Amino acid sequence: MNNPEELGQYLLKERKHLKLTQKEISEFSDVGRKFIIEIEKGKATAQLGKIFELLKSLGLELHIVKRGDS
């Protein structure tokens, strides 16, 4: 992923795959629903702690790979 929009689309897809509402994932992750809406819309944010809580609640983890590596 290279930008907030791609991350937001991925998180939205995963949430829907798990059949969770924004309200439900908000409660699981202790992250406000407004924040989830903004992330899913691709809004850039510096609140990385909240992003990690959201990833954890969706059963995901973040891996960093050098560009060009697969």
The correct CATH number of 4-57 out of 3.40.50.2300, 1.10.260.40, 3.40.1350.10, 1.10.3720.10 is 1.10.260.40
The model's pTM? 0.75
pLDDT computed for residue 37 by the predictor:
94
Burial of 67 (0-12, 13-18, 19+ CB in 10 A): exposed
Nearest 5 degrees, angle CA 44-CA 45-CA 47?
155
Domain assignments of the chain as residue spans, ordered by start: 4-57
- As a whole number of angstroms, the distance between CA 11 and CA 70 comes to 20
| pLDDT band of 1, cuts 50, 70, 90 | confident
The 10s digit of each residue's pLDDT in 39-57 is 999 988 768 778 888 888 8
Residue 18 CB partners (closer than 8 Å, separation 6+): 58, 59
Q: Please check the confidence at residue 70 and state whether its pLDDT lies above 70.
A: no
Tokens of 51: 């992003």
